[in-house]
Structure 1
Amino acid sequence: MTTATYQENFSDEATKDRNQSSSYYINQDNYEFCGYNLKIARNTSANLGVSAYVWDAGIALCRYFEKENINFTGKKLIELGSGTGIVGILAALLGGNVTLTDQPNILQQIEYNISANIPSACRHRLNVRPLTWGEDHTNFPNDYDFILGSDLVYSSVYYSSLIRTLHYLANPDTAIYLSSAFRKGNGSLSFHEVLLPEYFDCLVVDRLADKDITVYKMTRLGRGPEDWLPA
């Protein structure tokens, strides 16, 4: 991985309709997965919080796709908490039709990285939309083949909303890949080992012991009433 810091202008076709300043200070990181060289820009001047970083859990999920030689051709995917978009962009390069989601202020960063990494002829297979877990998830369909997420469990405040969103978006045939880094004090281990198994069949498919990162493959157990899910 190589890193460069520079001042970039975001006023290209991917961002020209955004009502934000066109001048940003950007860190650009280069990654290689599955034979693709990804140039991932991170906006470090717009108060994007955790979304202004490429987290190890996202790298682990990309490496898992590479190791398993996964092909998403013709499949419909949605990524939660896309951040920089690195996982969803790789999924699109692997053939998927991908919807990348995050909070509204994060979307410009995702769109920029799509424009930098996805050939114009393939961009119709990507869609970028705002999604607040537990609030507007019902604006989305539930016919996805795959749901992707990396490092989504950084705060226990969002755990119940995340479960409600995952449960709504998934159908019985949907495969959910979650890559999580366990951190002390945020209940992330209990979330995966106690709470998630109440609603999903959870299988550990990869583990990076040195970084305490685990990749799970999950499927929804059933469709219960809304009050069956955590409040």
Structure 2
Amino acid sequence: MMEEHLFSAFPKDDDLFADCYTEERTYEFCGHVLKITQSFSTDLGVAGSVWDSALALCRYFAEQKISFRRRKVIELGAGTGIVGILAVLLGGDVTFTDLPRALKEIESNISVNVPSSCIHCSRVRALSWGHNHTWFPGDYDFVLGSDIVYLPEIYPLPVRTLRHLSAQSATVYLSSKMRREHRTISFYEEILPQHFQCRLLHRNEEQNINLYKATQQEHHAGRH
């Protein structure tokens, strides 16, 4: 049931995935050329595409010269895996997470983009927010997410998951298209600040994308 809720977050369009196909696109960040295969199909839905918010997060890491070297990283709602793949290439030990149906695509993109010498620094696991997050440790250095805020009815679930994963003072980077119909701004200005110190890092007016940095408030750390 949880999986269906997440995959029904965007309005259904019978023609959106009428023609099921895959497409490879090339992106370059930090001197790394990423070849990402997107799958446009009813099976993957929104998880099969590279979204602008993911590219915005990658671009921010590049512009700020952020290093994940020897850091423990987890990506939520990884989709195609592009953000986590860049984090691996920037030295991180990355756990990619999404719903079960999206994992094969992530694994495929990792195999194409991550050198064999670094493959041990990536792992792919299923995660349903608010449900099985306790199967994961709470000692990550970084928690990453792009366009994971889009369904007001389940906002408490990603918050619960973020609190657990960042229990030991992780830095959380979130990038979101600020959709009025999904009340995205309320998540960042009303809900998340109840548990995290949340700061707007960058806004792209043209694409209506905000990038946020969050750290768990001390009096909430360790409480789930």
Instruction: Please state whether the residue corresponding to 1:185 is helix, strand or coil.
Output: helix
Identify which range, 150-159 or 63-72, moves more after superposition. Answer: 150-159
The two structures have a TM-score, normalised by structure 1, of 0.85
Once the two structures are TM-superposed, the CA of residue 172 in structure 1 deviates from its matched residue by: 4.2
Matched to 2:98, the amino acid is D
- The CA deviation string for residues 14-64 of structure 1, in whole angstroms up to 9 with x for no partner, is xxxxxxxxxx83111111111111000012235211101111110000000
Once the two structures are TM-superposed, the CA of residue 106 in structure 1 deviates from its matched residue by: 0.3
1:31 aligned to 2:13?
A: no
- Provide the residue aligned with 2:10 in structure 1: none
- Provide the residue aligned with 1:216 in structure 2: 212
**Pairing of 1:187-206 with structure 2 (within 5 A):** 187-206=183-202
- What is the total number of aligned residue pairs between the two structures? 203
Identify which range, 79-88 or 170-179, moves more after superposition. Answer: 170-179
Give the Cα separation in 1 of the matches to 2:42 and 2:105: 10
Equivalent residues of 1:30, 1:38 under 8 A apart: yes
Equivalent residues of 2:167, 2:222 under 8 A apart: no
Matched to 1:183, the amino acid is R
- The CA deviation string for residues 137-161 of structure 1, in whole angstroms up to 9 with x for no partner, is 0000001000000001122132110
Instruction: Please state whether the residue corresponding to 2:215 is helix, strand or coil.
Output: strand
Give the Cα separation in 2 of the matches to 1:134 and 1:160: 8
1:181 aligned to 2:197?
A: no
Runs of 4+ in 1 over 6 A off after TM superposition: none
1:93 aligned to 2:71?
A: no
Once the two structures are TM-superposed, the CA of residue 224 in structure 1 deviates from its matched residue by: 6.9
- Provide the residue aligned with 1:79 in structure 2: 75
Question: For structure 2, which runs of at least 5 residues remain unmatched after alignment?
Answer: 1-19
**Pairing of 1:52-201 with structure 2 (within 5 A):** 52-201=48-197
Question: For structure 1, which runs of at least 5 residues remain unmatched after alignment?
Answer: 1-23, 227-231
- The CA deviation string for residues 176-201 of structure 1, in whole angstroms up to 9 with x for no partner, is 00011111211111111111101100
Q: Identity of paired residues, percent?
A: 49
Give the Cα separation in 2 of the matches to 1:119 and 1:201: 36
Equivalent residues of 2:43, 2:101 under 8 A apart: no
